[in-house]
Chain A
């Protein structure tokens, strides 16, 4: 029986395994050094906040794996011998495979800051990071202040986590407005205000110069590049993005760039070895997507696709319309299609913001033929299937604005804003 080995038990690896099982009878083994069972990485924050226990982040009960004949192996892969098709583990044992799927995800970026490996410095990605945080920041007596470096999605989640235990947070953001490499100005500014409303000390346009150690090799303070200010703290969260977690591949003959290089079939340069999820890097970008997509949804989609290929139906990874979501403290964010931080050539944005500063939308459209290109929505839930359909049908932006009500996904009895939005939209058209 063909043996499929998957390194990594995150969403990409597990989705692949599940779909292979649906399609075939192959032997499947999932290898992980991080956790015994698949858990939802995005939910780690809720464990620290006390909304859930760790076991609640596991989407399948423990009997699921045996019932579906998916073997789980705990072990750290040290290297891959592609000649003999064998994995070598740090623990000393080895495992033979017929086909190998690399789905090892990401690791937090470190940019060579002095002191970046001190005790009390951590990313927020792995289960072990959570355990570390629990050790160094259990409450505001042991952790009197935490500094977060890097204004992205993980940074703001870490700020929310620490906030839930009343630990004062200083949030260093390199850009002059939160996540403005991705979010248009109005949205980014709204989130700035929201962060400050939560009593988080947001420092825009500030970089980390160094992390200062105490006599025991533990964090004592950090120094800001721009001002030279020293901020005493007990924990430093490094959340300046992630990069593919592929150190163990570097000595093999599998081609790598920043990630494991794959073609559109998710195949590496070595036959029978595939890479998916955060750690895979496309030779050529697909559409306007980045070559490395470190997003839950794309990991899942690659898994769904690769299972077909492995089970004999070789197909390309051809994702549909872009979508994503996040939550910034209390404000939910969804996006469908493409809205870039600044309109590209022949693009324009329509922006509407509610006066309460917790809801806004930005609609991007083509200025030549008025085609709707994408929407960002904050504080108003919208329907994925409707926008997916509208994007496929290449509807024009007027149509979208007039039919926005159909896309509303807020709970029943919620106040709706479509009329107000449409009015604002018509008004902008007149002034142009």
Chain B
């Protein structure tokens, strides 16, 4: 207790440090690049599109690179979080809201009004912003650009330049650097270049980002895709088989070995953007218990929805032409039901204790899914399930989950909800991987004995809203389904308490009452109870 009692406990928010002259120049360069894009958006017809496109993307990249170098390379290696809660952009200040509104507006236009960006309709040539990207698209795949090509290009550029910034920020941390190089690689190669080249080689194949798996690409088993896979001989079938294997074999195995981080923070494109361009917003995720509750309800509802929706879509087209698919409608439903039941029963037998109270919610989810499958069987006709067109179900999912949730809210709201709102509350893929991680994985974040000082840096920087400190201060390992293994909690810990590890399943979850360092008899007495 101080002798200077001050009852006005409010801590005024100080001004953020002004940026250096070099950073201001870098910012100006970047804004000129952006301005070219804005001019294009408003239908300025640039004489030589390739030059201006190169100029725009080049200036944005150069600006970001120069800015980052001046921000980090002028200081010694270490944690660089000074002033993140003072800066308007990263603390839900005016700039944060402005950027949030601009991003949200961009996503709404991108998903619902692509003509505003200049997308040519019915074979008409592109205009505006999209036409500016025509030269690059033609260079890569010989066809004019589309709104998705523009988006993909900007997305990739963002991951690469902000990835570079992130690497400089954590230049003392090998783990952070490697995983950033990894997301940069997967975005540039797998999401951006390879699909374009695949189109050049075989234009009948659907766009396929190989690292994107169902249910994140909820459309993967739509009829048009399945048909074109089947119609494209060996390569098509290989892609289809790969799609099925990746969700049922590859991903469970990798998650068992390394935790869901192998995907969410090393490979995934959504994660890639969140970890690079979204890094400045990671502290904004809510750590409240109530947010965690909401998270669990939302993400599992989306999962059930996506399973039922996909089942419904496949179910109806299996009925169109029984001669084409060896799988019949009835058999398919039974297989899905059997699969869900087997998973449910195995979990209840082997993992009942680890689930604890959540087992009840798991059971509810399971029975809802089964109930829906039965209803589907009785109400399903050739193109209807639950008495509504399965196409309607599919488009509802695409609209509400695929577009609004993952795009508009997930990314548009970065400066408000933090950079992983989609991954945390909505992604059905994250939900499946999280389930595997919680129950069948060697991965955990180990806490270091009694060294925690409850400072809260770990919780503050957790983009998934995990209250890491709540575990660390109890000396308890963190085994949470939502953890994407970004490793930033470990990086910012001032006392070396947290370490991401893959180790044996034994003793992975270790709640303790008395921490290491105290009387051994007392620890025995209390902890062994």
Interface on A for B, CB 8 Å cutoff?
A: 8, 11, 19, 22, 32-36, 40, 42-43, 46-47, 49-54, 56-59, 61, 76-77, 104-105, 107, 125-132, 134, 138-139, 164-166, 197-198, 245, 247, 296-297, 300-301, 304-305, 308, 315-321, 323, 325-327, 329-330, 332, 334, 381-385, 388, 392, 409-415
Which chain B residue has the least Cβ–Cβ distance from A36? Answer: B9
Which listed residue (B83, B448, B454, B518) contacts A43, Cβ 8 A?
B454
**Pick the contact of B174 from A129, A245, A413 — CB < 8 Å?**
A413
Specify which of A43, A76, A316, A320 is in contact with B457 (CB 8 Å cutoff): A43
Interface string of B269-294 (1 = CB under 8 A from A): 00000000000000100001100000
Beyond contacts A128-B2, A128-B6, A388-B516: 18 other A-B pairs, Cβ-Cβ < 8 A, are: A34-B1, A34-B2, A50-B16, A51-B492, A52-B456, A56-B460, A76-B1, A107-B3, A304-B514, A315-B522, A320-B516, A323-B451, A334-B451, A381-B448, A381-B496, A384-B517, A411-B491, A414-B174
Contact of A334 among B83, B84, B178, B496 (CB under 8 A): B496
Cβ of B517 and Cβ of A319 under 8 Å apart?
Answer: yes
B495 to chain A, nearest CB (A): 4
Whole-angstrom distance between the Cβ of A283 and the nearest chain B Cβ? 18
Q: Is the CB of B77 within 8 A of A166?
A: no
Query: A300-B515, A384-B449 given as contacts; is B82 within 8 A of A134 (CB)?
Result: no
* Chain A positions within 8 Å of B525 at CB level: 308
Residues of the A chain whose Cβ atoms lie less than 8 Å from the Cβ of B175: 411-414
B290, closest chain A residue (CB):
A61
In the complex, residue of chain B having the shortest beta-carbon distance to the beta carbon of A41: B453
Q: Contact flags (1/0) for B443-475 with A, using CB distance below 8 Å?
A: 000101111011111011000000001100100
Is the CB–CB distance between B4 and A318 below 8 Å? no
Q: Does B521 contact A (CB under 8 A)?
A: yes
**Shortest 6 CB-CB contacts between residues of A and residues of B:** A384-B449, A330-B78, A381-B496, A43-B455, A50-B83, A413-B174
Q: Does chain A have a CB within 8 A of B500?
A: yes
Is B249 on the interface with A (CB-CB < 8 A)?
no
Q: B449 near A388 (CB under 8 angstroms)? A: yes
List 11 contacting pairs A-B, 8 Å CB cutoff, sorted by A: A40-B456, A50-B84, A58-B456, A59-B470, A61-B288, A125-B2, A139-B15, A197-B76, A330-B78, A409-B446, A411-B175
User: Are B516 and A415 within 8 A (Cβ)?
Assistant: no
Q: B66-82 interface mask toward A, CB cutoff 8 Å, 1 = contact, 0 = none?
A: 00000000001111011
Q: Are B450 and A384 touching (Cβ within 8 A)?
A: yes
Beta-carbon contacts under 8 Å, B161-210 to A: 172-175, 178
Contacts of A36 in B (CB 8 A): 9
Taking CB as reference atom, which chain A residue is nearest B174? A413
Q: Are A319 and B449 in contact (CB under 8 A)?
A: no
Q: Is the pair B517, A166 in contact by a Cβ cutoff of 8 Å?
A: no
**Are A384 and B516 in touch, CB under 8 angstroms?**
yes
Which residues 1-34 of B have a CB within 8 angstroms of A?
1-6, 9, 11-12, 14-17
Does B513 lie at the interface of the complex (its beta carbon under 8 Å from any beta carbon of A)?
A: yes
Residue of A nearest to B500 (CB): A412
Q: A321 and B455: CB pair below 8 A? A: no
**In the complex, A385 Cα to B447 Cα: how many Å?**
10
Check if B457 sits within 8 Å of A325, measured CB to CB: no
The docked-state distance in angstroms from the alpha carbon of A227 to that of B449 is 46
Task: Evaluate contact between B82 and A164: CB separation under 8 angstroms.
Answer: yes
A30 nearest CB across to chain B (Å): 12
Q: Which residues of A contact B490 (CB under 8 A)?
A: 411
| Given A334-B495, A412-B500, residue A134 in contact with residue B14 (CB < 8 A) | yes
B118 at interface by CB-CB < 8 Å: no
Contacting residue for A381 out of B456, B470, B499, B514, CB 8 A:
B499
Q: Is the beta-carbon distance between A323 and B453 smaller than 8 angstroms?
A: no
The count of chain B contact residues (Cβ–Cβ below 8 Å) is 69
Name which residue of chain B comes closest to A38, CB basis. B454
Contacting residues, chain A, for B495 (C-beta < 8 A) = 325-327, 332, 334
Decide yes or no whether B52 CB sits under 8 A from chain A: no
Docked-complex contact A127 and B9, CB < 8 angstroms? yes
CA distance A53 to B11 in the complex (A): 9
Which residue in chain B gives the minimum CB-CB distance to A32? B1
In the bound assembly, the distance between CA atoms of A132 and B8 in angstroms comes to 12
Q: Decide: B82 and A50 in contact? CB cutoff 8 A.
A: yes
Q: Given A131-B11, A297-B450, A334-B495, are A319 and B519 also a contact pair (CB < 8 Å)?
A: yes
- Asked if B86 CB lies within 8 Å of chain A CBs, one says yes
Asked if B174 contacts A411 (CB within 8 A), the reply is yes
Query: How far in angstroms is the closest Cβ of chain B from A407?
Result: 11
- Is the beta-carbon distance between B178 and A413 smaller than 8 angstroms? yes
Tell me the complex Cα distance, A139–B431, Å: 45
Query: Which of A11, A105, A166, A304 meets B454, CB within 8 Å?
Result: A11
State which residues 94-130 of B face A: CB under 8 Å: none
For residue B520, CB closer than 8 A to chain A, the reply is: yes
Residues of B within 8 A of A130 (CB): 11
State the CA gap A412–B454 with chains docked (Å). 23
Nearest-Cβ distance from residue B259 to partner chain A, whole angstroms: 12
Instruction: Check if B511 is an interface residue, CB within 8 A of chain A.
Output: no
> Whole-angstrom distance between the alpha carbons of A411 and B5 in the complex?
42
Whether, in the assembled complex, B487 has its beta carbon less than 8 Å from a beta carbon of chain A, the answer is yes
B330 located at the interface, meaning its Cβ lies under 8 Å from any Cβ of chain A in the complex: no
Please, which residues of chain B bring their CB within 8 A of the CB of A245?
1
A385–B85 touching, CB < 8 Å: no
CB pair B521–A318 under 8 Å, yes or no, is yes
B79 touching A330 by the CB < 8 A rule?
Answer: yes
Picked from B4, B500, B501, the residue with its CB within 8 Å of the CB of A128 is B4
Q: Is the CB of A138 within 8 A of B15?
A: yes
**Contact between A415 and B450, CB atoms less than 8 A apart:** no
Q: Which of A129, A296, A305, A315 is the most central at the interface, judged by chain B CB atoms within 10 Å of its CB?
A: A296
Asked if B83 and A42 sit within 8 Å, CB to CB, the answer is no
Query: In the bound complex, do residue A107 and residue B2 qualify as a contact, i.e. CB atoms below 8 Å apart?
Result: yes
B516 contacts A51, CB within 8 Å?
A: no
A56 to B492, CA, bound (A): 14
Contact B174 A128 (CB under 8 A): no
Q: Which residues of B contact A128 (CB under 8 A)?
A: 2, 4-6
- Asked whether any CB of chain A lies closer than 8 Å to the CB of B322, the reply is no
Q: Is B494 an interface residue (CB 8 A)?
A: yes
On chain B, the residues within 8 Å of A325 by CB distance are 451, 453, 495-496
Residue of A whose beta carbon sits closest to that of B446: A409
Q: Does the CB pair A46–B15 fall under 8 Å?
A: no
Q: Is the CB of B522 within 8 A of A46?
A: no
Q: How far is the CB of A308 from chain B (nearest CB, A)?
A: 7
Tell me whether B522 and A198 are in contact (CB under 8 A): no
- Chain A, residue nearest B501 (CB): A412
- Inter-subunit contact B174/A43 (CB<8 Å): no
Q: Are A49 and B518 in contact (CB-based, < 8 A)?
A: no
Chain A residues lying within 8 Å of B78, measured Cβ to Cβ, are 329-330
- Interface contact A165-B17, CB-CB below 8 Å: yes
Using Cβ atoms and an 8 Å threshold, which residues of chain A touch B492? 51
Please report the C-alpha to C-alpha distance between residue A36 and residue B8 in the assembled complex, in whole angstroms: 12
Q: Are A134 and B1 within 8 A (Cβ)?
A: no
Q: Which residues of B contact A11 (CB under 8 A)?
A: 454
B11 touches A47 (CB 8 A): yes
| Residues of A with C-beta under 8 A to B518 | 301, 304-305, 319-320
Proximity bits, B485-508, A CB within 8 Å = 1, else 0: 001001110111001110000000
Is A51 a contact of B2 with CB atoms below 8 Å?
A: no
Q: Is the CB of A51 within 8 A of B519?
A: no
Q: Which residues B407-442 have CB closer than 8 A to chain A?
A: none
Bound Cα distance A326, B491 (Å): 15
CA distance A57 to B287 in the complex (A): 12
